Every structure is written in C-alpha cells, then in structure tokens.
A and B are shown apart, each in its own frame.
Chain A
C-alpha cells in the first residue's frame, strides 16, 4: 500500500482542522486573516499533489491518475480564488469567520476525493462531503433572509438529489453485485452479451444517476434551484458553487458513465445530448431577461454546462480532453466574472446590472477585467473561452454530432447579446450615482490571476491542452 498517494488529501484535512482550532483561540477581530493561512494550505496541497505519484489504493477505492490530478488542480485553483475573494468579504460577517474558510477547505477535500473515487461508496461519501459544507455556506449570512432562503432551497433539493442518486446506486448494486466501477462495467458488459437489450431496472438505474448528477450540475430539468441559490448565497460561495461544485459533479459523472456504463453508451448519450441542448437554449434565453448580475451569471452557467456536456456527448478521449480544457477556461472566466461582481457590490452594495453604468470611467481596470471575463464566456478570440469552445465543437463534429454543435453556435449568438449588454452598460452609459472606487489588495490579486489565466489559456493553449489530453488518457480506449 502506497499511502503517499493520499498525502495531499491527508494534509488538507489536517490543515482544515488546524484552521478550525485556530479560530477558537485567535483574536475575533483578526480571524479574517485565517484566509491567508487557508491559501497557504491550498498552496502546499497543490505542491504535494505535484509530488504524489499515480496508482490506486484500498482495492480501487481511491484512484490517483491523470484525470483526477487535472481536476484536483481545477478545484484547488477554484478554492484558492474563492478564499482570496472572501478575505475582504468576511469582514461583513461578525462571527464564525474562521469556520467559513474551514468549510470551503472541507468542501474542496470532498471534491478531491470525489474525482479520485473508483468505487460507489467512496463516491457517495465524497459527494456528500462536498455538498454538506456548501449547504452551510449558502446560508452563511445569518441576518440576510435571502441567504437563508438560498440555504433551505439548496439543502432540500440537494438532499432530494442525493436520495435519488443513492436509490440509483442501490439498483446498480443489485444488478451487478459490485460497487467497484470497473467491476460494474465488467458485469454489465457480460449481462449485455447474454441478454442483449437493456432491462427496465438498468434504465431506471441510469435515469436515477442522470437525475442525481443533474441536480449537482444544474442540468435543465433539474436546474430550478440554481438561480435562487446563486442569487441568495454569499457571492464568493456562488462563484465556488458554479465552478468547483459543478466540476466535481462533472468529474464523477464522467468517471461513472465512461467506465461503468460505457456499454450502453448510445442510449445515455442521447439523453445527455437532449439535456445539454435544452440547457443551452433555456439558460441563454432566460439569461436575456435578467436584471441582477448574479442571476444572469447563474443562467449563463446553466447554459455553460450544456456546452461542457458536448464533450461527454462526443464520447471520445478528445471529448474528455476538450471538456477538461473547457473546465479550465470556464474556471478563470466565471470565477473572474463573479469576483468582478463581488468587487463591485463591495463598493456600491448593488448587484443590479443597470448600476454598472459608467463603470469604465470610475474604475477602468475593473471594467476592463469584467469585459475580458464576459467575452471569454461568450467565446471571443483570442480568449480562453474561444479555444475551449472551438476544441469542444471539433470533438463533437469529429464524431458526427452536427446538430448539437449547430444549436450550441446559435445559442452562443444569443449569449453574446446579454454578455455584451453588461459591457455596454459599463462603457457607453453614464452613471447617475457617484462613488469612489478603492479595490482591496486581495480582490485585485484575484482579478489579476483570473485575467492572466484567461489570456494565457487563450493565447498559448498548447500546454493546457496537452495537460487536458493527458488527463483524458485515463479513458484512452476510445
């Protein structure tokens, strides 16, 4: 047994407990500086991750491979940006600031286990470790009734989704007698050879899996919680939810469906293709009507998950590689847009798009950053979003899925309208209110990292695509 594979996770867990304990003893007026300590912990975890090898532990329960390595880096970066953008934000919370950072770290730990899980028990526990801290964080602003409402909506729908998922898992366990993903694949494949078509139990199992993960990913018929939770939750948590929590769900989804259910690929790919198209259409059209920037970004992220799932629909290693790269581009662009919104609302106290009028004159830097992020989300060259979309469409066309690519391109045009709407407010409208902008150091740093990420992955995508391709090689047999 090579326990050093678990070293990053063990370290992160100990560091999280350390943060919780320190919060007890630290002077209450200074606990926001625990954020810097959390950032240090994330940095060391990333360092350990680079040092840890590849392999598996506990009989395939914990897989450490290229795919999990890539996604762990995405989660650590998302947590890093979320905490960095929270350091100024938590000063508004009068109590329990240390726990705030600790819970983000705990959720990140769950995500790291989730993308490494090679077995359904581990996967389910990791999924809950990811979401339970997020329930608490969504309701963290105790005096704000919108935050409480976000919390109750998230916790009820999250619990329903996990109940549906666990029922699906129990059906699959009953059909195969195994919880190991590779053994499930083997067992389902041999049953498939023996009996041919899918039995009704398996159809139910697969549908329950799609529904359970659909909630986590905010796929279209299961997306109703997303806009309310995104609007009500504290904004750094919204950013974290929209990137890291989705990425974690996606990683587990890809592992289950590409490993366990790959025999029935033609059947579930059709369902995913329909859901992805619905997501792109509905997300983009409803986003057009939004006046609140957090709500607009919520609907835009419902649409973005549709684009990401095109990589799943392609069902090839290139599809996985392109969705991994897209996740990376989406990480910086979406986190950046939310961090821009945090910066803006810290100064003005508003999340309304019309209040962004005249921002280019008051804070040219912030306006420029927001423009870069929003244009990257649309997919304008030379930004990261363009490369991501190009690569993901190419992977789908390669496998002959022309229809979904046409839908994706048409809906991108709709998306252009509402993203550029914000840019228009910032550059071409005069503002009515006067306020002076001073952006704290932590937010400046976070914005800077995101802009660098978006530009770097857009202008020099080769090393990032190579990394994503290496991640996809775990599923090399397609």
Chain B
C-alpha cells in the first residue's frame, strides 16, 4: 500500500537532488535541469495532497498543471539566455561567466 508519506518522501528526495544539483553542476543547462527537478518535486506534492487531503477538490491538480506550464515558459526564456551567453563566451560554464565582481 502506497501512502501519502511515500509520495512526500519521494518529493523531498527529488527536491534535495535538485538543490544538490544546483550547487554541484557548473553547466548552465545542468543547473536548469536541477531546477526542473525541484518544480517536479512540488508537483508530486500537489498531486499527492490533492488525492489524499482534498479528494473531492481538484485544486492541487489544477495547480500542478499551472506549475508545469509556467516551468516550461521559464525554461524557454532561460534557454534563450543560455544561447545568448554561449554567443558571448563560447561556453556555458557558469564559473567562467563573471565579469562583474564586488
């Protein structure tokens, strides 16, 4: 029997993997993929809560659909900017992109 806790544990692990990826990846695309993992962790939460906490309401599922859409829009803009960065620097390693420092 799969309970709510299983889903929550999965989403927490996914979220932590995302955070870990953000801190260890140096490739901009890799960072964006890690961020997608974090969005999807939240989506699993929404769907699981929707099923177990409010089974008669669809709020959580609707929210998940919106999150997927927005994550797609965000990824589009982010990839466009990554291409722009590539044109300037000929690479997308985020450690190398630091003209401005304090």
Contacts and interface: CB of A to CB of B under 8 A. Distances in A.
Interface of A: 120-121, 124-125, 128, 132, 135-136, 139, 142, 145-146, 148-152, 155-156, 158-160, 162-164, 166-167, 169-171, 173-174, 177-179, 227-228, 231-232, 286, 289-290, 295
30 contacts: A121-B66, A124-B70, A125-B70, A135-B81, A136-B77, A148-B85, A151-B81, A152-B97, A155-B77, A156-B28, A156-B78, A158-B74, A159-B74, A159-B78, A160-B22, A160-B35, A160-B38, A162-B70, A167-B15, A167-B38, A167-B41, A170-B45, A170-B63, A173-B59, A173-B60, A174-B8, A174-B49, A177-B49, A227-B102, A295-B102
Nearest to B63: A121
Contacts of A121: 59, 62-63, 66
Interface residues of B, number: 46
Contacts of A152: 28, 81-82, 84-85, 94, 97
Given A155-B81, A232-B100, 4 more contacts: A124-B63, A148-B85, A148-B88, A152-B97
Main secondary structure of the interface of A (DSSP, over half): helix
A132 B78 CA distance: 9
Contacts, number: 124
Main secondary structure of the interface of B (DSSP, over half): helix
Contacts of A170: 11, 42-43, 45-46, 49, 63
B13 interface: no
A179 B63 contact: yes
The 6 closest A-B pairs by CB, nearest first: A170-B45, A163-B38, A174-B49, A145-B88, A166-B42, A151-B81
Interface string B79-96: 011101101110000100
A166 B39 contact: yes
B70 A128 contact: yes
A289 B42 CA distance: 41
A437 to B, nearest CB: 28
